[in-house]
Amino acid sequence: MAKVIAVLLVLLGLGGGVGAGYLLRPAPVVEDSDPAAVAPILAPVLVESVALFEFDTPFIIPVVTEQAVNAIFMLRIGLEIEAEQQQFVKGQEPRLRDRLLQVMFDHANSGGFEGVYTSQTKLATLRRSLLESAQSVVGREIVQRVLITDLARGSN
For the chain, the domains span 2-42, 50-155
Q: CB neighbours (10 Å) of residue 80?
A: 15
Which CATH number is correct for 50-155, 3.30.479, 3.30.70, 2.60.90, 3.40.1440? 3.30.479
Q: What is the tens place of the pLDDT at every residue in 128-139? A: 999 999 999 999
Exposure on the CB side of residue 143, measured as CA atoms within 13 A: 28
d(CA 70, CA 90): 33
**pTM of the predicted model as reported, rounded to 2 decimal places:** 0.66
Q: What is the tens place of the pLDDT at every residue in 105-152? A: 999 988 888 888 888 888 999 999 999 999 999 999 999 999 999 999
| Integer CA distances (angstroms), 37 to 27, 34, 43, 122, in order | 19, 6, 11, 42
Grade residue 43 by pLDDT with cuts at 50, 70 and 90: very low
CB 156 within 8 A of CB 71: yes
